[in-house]
Structure 1
Amino acid sequence: MINIALLTPCIIEGDAVSNDVIGMYHCLKKYGYNAQLFADYWESSINNIKHVNQVKSFITKKKDILVYHYSVGWDIALDIINHINCIKVIKYHNVTPPEFFQGINADYASVCQAGRKQLKLIADVPGALYLSDSEYNADELHSMGVSQENSLVIPPFHHIDDLQYVDSDTSILDKYLDEKVNILMVGRLAPNKGHSALIDAFDVYHKNYNRNSRLIVVGKQDDRLNIYTTRLYEKVKYLGLQESVIFTGGVSTASLKAYYLVANTFMITSEHEGFCVPLVESMAMKVPIVAYGSTAIPYTVGKAGLVWEQPDPYLMAGSIDCIASKESISVTLGDMGWRRYQETFTNEQIESKFMRAIKSIE
C-alpha cells in the first residue's frame, strides 16, 4: 500500500493552513489511503499526528507520496525533500512578505524573509507536483520557473460545513441584531491584513453616511504583534470611534456564525492574501462582500462581490452605503456569493479536485 505523508510545521485548531492539512488527511483516509500527519508542533484534538523526525521511517518506497504544505521557511522540511526518494507534492499557501513585520516584530520578519528566500528552492524540486490555493499563488510559482503542466489550482479544505450547521451564539445575536448597520471583518490582527484602511473606510461611512453603524473586527490578537495592535486601538481612539469599533479577539465557531448572521456587509482591505477563507465563509453565509482587490482576493471573490483596485475609503464607504440602503443589491450580492461558493468552494468539490491530483501521480 502507498503511504502518504502530510507535512506542515504546525497544526493548530482553526488555522487555515491546518484546516487544509487536516481536510486532506480525512479525504485520503476516506478513500482508503494510509495517510499520516507530521508536524514539529501541534495543538489539535486529532490523535494521529507524529513528529516530523519520523517522516523518513514512514516514507520508505519510491511510490510513497510526500505532501508538503508551504507557507513559511522550514529547514527541516527542505532537508527531507532534498534527501527522500518518493513522489513529492508541494501545496503552496503563499508567504507573507517580511516588509509587513519590519518595525513590529523581528522574529516574524525573519521567518517570512526565510520563507520568501526558500521559496526559490521549493519551486525547483525535480518532478514535483505543485498545488496552489489560488491562481495568484500559481502565477507566483510560474514566475519562478514551475511549469504549468506540473501545476494545479486547488482551493484549501475548510470548516465551513461546521460553521453552517453549528448553533449560533444567541447572546451575540441578541446584542447586535438591532437597528445598527454591522460591518464585519474576519482575520487575525496582523499587519498584512490592512486594518488601518478598514478603519479609515468605516470612519468615512460612519461620519458621512450612517452614524447608526458599527465595525466588528473578529480575529485573534497576537502578543508578539502588540505594536501593531496598539496602533489600531490608538487610531480608533483618535478618530473617536471607541463606541463603534469592536475587536472581539478569537471566537468559537458558534460565535463566528453569529457574527456572520448579524453582518450587513463583509469588508476587507487586506494587502496580502494567498486565498482568504473568510471571503468564502461570507459567500456561504450570504453576506455581501466589499473588498480591496489585492493579491489573491480578486481570484477568490470572482464576480461575487464589489472588488476595487484601491482601498479608497470613500469608495469603500459608498459601497457599504449602497448595500446597506438598498435591500435588492444586498440580496443580489448575497445570492451571487452563495452561488460561487456552491459552484467552486464546497469541500466536496475540493475533495474531487484533490483526489484527481493524487490519482494522477500514483
Structure 2
Amino acid sequence: MRVLQFVPALLPHDAVGNIVRGLDERLRGIGVSTGIVVAGDRPPPGATSVRHTQLRPDDIVLYHLASRSPEGARLVARHPNVVVHYHNITPPELLLPWLPTDALELQLARREAARILRAARLTMAVSAYNADDARSLGARDVAVTGTLSRHDQLVAAPSTEVLGWLRADRDRRGSPHDWLFVGRLTPHKRAEDLVAALFAYRHATGTDAALTIVGRPASRRYLAHLRRRVSVLGLTARVRILTHPLAPRALADHFRAASVYVTASRHEGFGLPLLEAMSFGLPIAGLAAAAVTETVQTAGVLVDRADPVELAAAAATAAELGPRLRPAMDERLRAYDSDAAFARIVEGLRSVGLEVRA
C-alpha cells in the first residue's frame, strides 16, 4: 500500500509544495511507502510524472487541490481511493478585470474541483473556511486537519547582513514602525491598499515609516499598476517591492526587522505568512476577510473595511499593543501545531484504509 500525493506542479518556495514535501517526509518517517506525482512529463527531482505512474488497487491518492489539472481529474476518474487535501481555489471574480484569462481558468478550476470533491472518499482542509468552501462545491465527508508549517525552521534560520542593513535604515529614518507583507502579488491580495494605508499612516503620525512587500507578481500589468500607485503617492523611497525569491534566512530577517505585519487580502484559504509573523512575535494588522479572521482571531488587530485610514489605525494599534498580543499569538501557534495536524491527516488516511506499522 502506498500514499501517492498528486499535485499539478511541485514548485520551489510554494506553500502547497512545501506541504507536499513535508508530508512525504513525515509519512516515510512512520514507515509508509510514498510517492509524489505531478502533471506533465518533466517532473522535478523527487517526483514522478502522472503519465508514467502505474496505480495499484490498494494505493491511496492524496490529491492536493488548488488549481485545475485535466491530468489530475483523469487520475481521479480511474482510481476509487482518492482523498482530497483542499487548499482552496480563489473565486474568479476577484481577479477581474486585471487577469481575465486567469479568472476564466479559476472558473474552470472550480467546476473541475466540484467533480473531484464529489468523487473523493474524504476531503481534508487546513481551515474551517476551506472546509465550508469544499462543502459548497459538493464535498461530503470533510475533516479540518490544520496544516504542516515550517515556521519553526524559519525562526531558527540564522541572521544575515540583510538584518543589519534593514535595522540601520530604520534607525536612520527614525521610524518606530516599519511594515511587512509577504504573499503573491495578485489583485485579490490588494497590496495597493497597503500602500494607501502607509500613506495615511505617515500623514497622520508624521513618522518616516516604510513598507516592504515580498512576493512573486501574477502579471507584469498588475506589478506596473502597483508601482504606479507607489509613485503617485510619493512613496518610491519608502515602499520596497521584492519580486525575486528570498532564501529562508533573508525572509526571516525581514520578519525580524519589521514592526507590524499587514494584510489587505480579500481571499485567503489559510494564510501561512500570518503564522510565520506570529512565530516571530510580529503583531498583525489587516482586513478581516476569508480565513484571515479564523487564523488570527485575537492575535492581531483586524478591521471590517479596507479603508486606508482604518488599516493605518489598525497597524498603529497593533504596534502599540506589541508584546501584549504575544499570549494570543502563542495560543494560535499551538492551535496550528504541525505534529497535531499530521496526526489528524494520518487519522484521515487510516479511515480510508492506510495501515501504519506500530
Matches of 2:162 and 2:97, distance apart in 1: 39
User: 1:197 maps to which residue?
Assistant: 193
Q: Kindly provide the CA deviation profile for residues 277-331 of structure 1, in whole angstroms up to 9, marking residues without a partner as x.
A: 000001111100112011111111122111222222212211222233x3xx110
User: 1:346 maps to which residue?
Assistant: 337
Structure 1 residue 75: Cα displacement: 1.1
Structure 1 residue 355: Cα displacement: 1.6
8 Å Cα contact 1:11/1:42 also seen in 2: no
Q: Give, as a single letter, the amino acid of the residue that structure 1 aligns with 2:132.
A: D
Q: Kindly provide the CA deviation profile for residues 81-109 of structure 1, in whole angstroms up to 9, marking residues without a partner as x.
A: 11123x21001111122233334344422
**Which segments of 5 or more consecutive residues in structure 1 lack a partner in the other structure?**
none
8 Å Cα contact 2:287/2:306 also seen in 1: yes
**Which segments of 5 or more consecutive residues in structure 2 lack a partner in the other structure?**
354-358
Structure 1 residue 41: Cα displacement: 5.6
Aligned pair partner of 2:125 in 124, 132, 153? 132
Matches of 2:213 and 2:164, distance apart in 1: 16
Matches of 1:219 and 1:189, distance apart in 2: 6
User: 1:40 maps to which residue?
Assistant: 39
User: 1:146 maps to which residue?
Assistant: 139
Is 1:11 matched up with 2:4? no
Is 1:361 matched up with 2:352? yes
Q: Give, as a single letter, the amino acid of the residue that structure 1 aligns with 2:314.
A: S
Q: Give, as a single letter, the amino acid of the residue that structure 1 aligns with 2:186.
A: A
User: 2:209 maps to which residue?
Assistant: 213
Identity of aligned residues (%): 24
Query: How many residues were matched structurally?
Result: 347
8 Å Cα contact 2:285/2:318 also seen in 1: no
Task: Give the stretch that moved more between structures: 287-296 or 100-109.
Answer: 100-109
Task: Give the stretch that moved more between structures: 329-338 or 294-303.
Answer: 329-338
Matches of 1:75 and 1:9, distance apart in 2: 9
User: 1:176 maps to which residue?
Assistant: 167
User: 2:309 maps to which residue?
Assistant: 314
User: 2:56 maps to which residue?
Assistant: 60
Structure 1 residue 49: Cα displacement: 0.8
Structure 1 residue 43: Cα displacement: 9.6
Q: Kindly provide the CA deviation profile for residues 10-53 of structure 1, in whole angstroms up to 9, marking residues without a partner as x.
A: 01111011111112111111111110001126999x73210111
Matches of 2:233 and 2:73, distance apart in 1: 47
Counterparts of 1:71-150 in structure 2, within 5 Å, are 71-85=66-80, 87-125=81-119, 128-147=121-140, 150=141
Q: Kindly provide the CA deviation profile for residues 212-249 of structure 1, in whole angstroms up to 9, marking residues without a partner as x.
A: 21111111234xx0111111110111111111111122
Matches of 2:178 and 2:117, distance apart in 1: 42
Q: Give, as a single letter, the amino acid of the residue that structure 1 aligns with 2:83.
A: V
Q: Secondary structure at the match of 2:10?
A: strand
Is 1:330 matched up with 2:322? yes
Structure 1 residue 113: Cα displacement: 1.9
Is 1:287 matched up with 2:263? no
Counterparts of 1:265-304 in structure 2, within 5 Å, are 265-304=260-299
Matches of 1:137 and 1:154, distance apart in 2: 11
Aligned pair partner of 1:50 in 38, 48, 55? 48
Q: Secondary structure at the match of 1:287?
A: coil
8 Å Cα contact 1:169/1:257 also seen in 2: no
Q: Secondary structure at the match of 1:208?
A: helix
User: 1:258 maps to which residue?
Assistant: 253
8 Å Cα contact 2:284/2:318 also seen in 1: no
Is 1:233 matched up with 2:227? yes
Q: Secondary structure at the match of 2:255?
A: helix
Matches of 2:221 and 2:98, distance apart in 1: 6
Q: Give, as a single letter, the amino acid of the residue that structure 2 aligns with 1:139.
A: D
Aligned pair partner of 2:236 in 229, 233, 242? 242
- What TM-score results when the alignment is normalised by the length of structure 1? 0.90
8 Å Cα contact 2:303/2:314 also seen in 1: no
Q: Secondary structure at the match of 1:38?
A: strand
- Which 4+ residue blocks in structure 1 deviate beyond 4 angstroms? 41-44
8 Å Cα contact 2:127/2:144 also seen in 1: yes
Q: Give, as a single letter, the amino acid of the residue that structure 2 aligns with 1:144.
A: L
User: 1:188 maps to which residue?
Assistant: 184
Matches of 2:63 and 2:32, distance apart in 1: 17
8 Å Cα contact 2:41/2:51 also seen in 1: no
Q: Secondary structure at the match of 1:318?
A: helix
Task: Give the stretch that moved more between structures: 177-186 or 19-28.
Answer: 177-186
Q: Give, as a single letter, the amino acid of the residue that structure 2 aligns with 1:256.
A: L
Change (3 A) 1:221 1:144: closer
Q: Give, as a single letter, the amino acid of the residue that structure 2 aligns with 1:10.
A: A
Is 1:167 matched up with 2:158? yes
